[in-house]
Amino acid sequence: SIPLSFFAGIGGASKAGVLVKGSNYLESLSKARYVVFDKTGTLTRGVFEVNGIHHNEMEEEKLLEYAALAESASSHPISKSLQRAYGKRIDRSRVSNIREISGNGVIAEVDGIEVAAGNAKLMKTLNITPVNCHQVGTIIHMAVNGSYAGHIVISDVIKPNAKAAVSALKAAGVEKTVMLTGDADAVAKQVAASLGIDEVYSELLPGDKVEKVEKLLTEKPEKEKLAFVGDGINDAPVLSRADIGIAMGAMGSDAAIEAADIVLMDDDPLKISKAIKISRKCLGIVY
């Protein structure tokens, strides 16, 4: 039978903005020793600003228009940011044949012209050689009508509580913090270093994230638990695979919230250590 203190724990957690879907997750949480984070939307806000547009012959404004239109059907944080930067009303009737390539970008027809927007990997699959950009940031390469058309440099900001969240986990006895991302290596390393994250893996496809978590699961001592924290549609498989799946509730995707065991109502990463403390308290564990 479930001890009464578990219900008190779930109630206490929910008052703190942490939704726990079952008492068994409180027990797992009390044993969390590995915390694995997705980057975008979890440690960073997931709200990108445009920092530069590097174009060939095409007008800067036109390149941004093609990007915003091609991205108009996607709910990825990058898509929303490009649409916001464009700032004009988007006429969806100009866009057709939209294909979103998870972890890579989008390809669509805009005014009947093929437009691709995404990372270097996406360009390579189209046999297009992207230009190397020296500006640090997330680079959205663009191909229009089969030719390289330039790139848009965007950057995200770290959440105000992210650094405190990582140190609070360490103070609560978490041995290892890991960051996984599909983003470029330079950006990933910069974010991880500034937050004091122990290990970082970049340029991962959604499937690679599952593999990494599986590897970490075999590496850690059996009695200890691994928590994964994410927000995206792509994160659902990893959330299910981890001992404890934690989703961002406010800005996160429905699929992530559905797949998670625990939901952080206000997307605040500092709530992870709070939840661990609540779980230990209700299990009577003195740490």
The first and second tokens of residue 273, run together, are 């250590």
Smallest separation, CB 207 to ligand ADP (Å): 10
Q: Kindly list the distances between the CA atom of residue 244 and the CA atoms of 7, 9, 23, 72, 225, in Å, as whole numbers in the listed order.
A: 18, 16, 12, 33, 8
- Residue 232, interface with Mg ion (CB under 5 A)? yes
β-strand 244-248 against 262-264: which pairing, if any?
A: parallel
Shorter beta-carbon distance to Mg ion: residue 38 or 243? 38
Smallest separation, CB 255 to ligand ADP (Å): 13
Smallest separation, CB 13 to ligand ADP (Å): 26
| Alpha helix stretches (DSSP H) within the chain | 4-15, 23-30, 60-70, 77-86, 120-125, 162-171, 185-195, 206-219, 236-241, 254-259, 271-282
Compute φ and ψ for 48, nearest 5 degrees: -90, 145
Q: Name residues contacting Mg ion, limited to 138-197 (CB under 5 A).
A: none
Please give the torsion angle defined by the CA atoms of residues 266, 201, 125 and 255, in that order, rounded to the nearest 10 degrees: -30
Q: Is 38 a catalytic residue?
A: yes
Cβ-Cβ contacts under 8 Å for 54 (sequence gap 6 or more): 131, 133, 150, 151, 152, 153
- How many chain residues bind ligand ADP (CB under 6 A)? 22
How far is the C-alpha of 113 from the C-alpha of 25, rounded, in Å?
50
Contact flags string 161-190 toward ligand ADP, x per CB under 6 A: --------------------xxx-------
- Residue 103, interface with Mg ion (CB under 5 A)? no
Q: Name residues contacting ligand ADP, limited to 207-266 (CB under 6 A).
A: 232, 234
140 binds, among ligand ADP, Mg ion, none (CB under 5 to 8 A by kind): ligand ADP
Smallest separation, CB 206 to ligand ADP (Å): 6
- The DSSP output letter for 44 is B
Shorter beta-carbon distance to ligand ADP: residue 2 or 113? 113
The first and second tokens of residue 211, run together, are 């593999």
Q: Name residues contacting Mg ion, limited to 8-67 (CB under 5 A).
A: 38, 40
Looking at 38, 231, 235, 243, which residue is catalytic?
A: 38
Contact flags string 15-54 toward ligand ADP, x per CB under 6 A: -----------------------xxx--------------
- How many chain residues bind Mg ion (CB under 5 A)? 3
Shorter beta-carbon distance to Mg ion: residue 212 or 277? 212
Q: Are 205 and 15 in contact (CB under 8 A)?
A: no
Shorter beta-carbon distance to ligand ADP: residue 138 or 177? 138
Q: Are 106 and 117 in contact (CB under 8 A)?
A: yes
Smallest separation, CB 39 to Mg ion (Å): 7
How far is the C-alpha of 264 from the C-alpha of 37, rounded, in Å?
13
Shorter beta-carbon distance to ligand ADP: residue 30 or 138? 138
Cβ-Cβ contacts under 8 Å for 43 (sequence gap 6 or more): 37, 158, 159, 162, 179, 191, 195, 269
How far is the C-alpha of 66 from the C-alpha of 116, rounded, in Å?
9
Residues lying near ligand ADP in the complex (CB under 6 A) are found at: 38-40, 71, 74, 76, 78-79, 103-106, 117-119, 138, 140, 181-183, 232, 234
Residues lying near Mg ion in the complex (CB under 5 A) are found at: 38, 40, 232
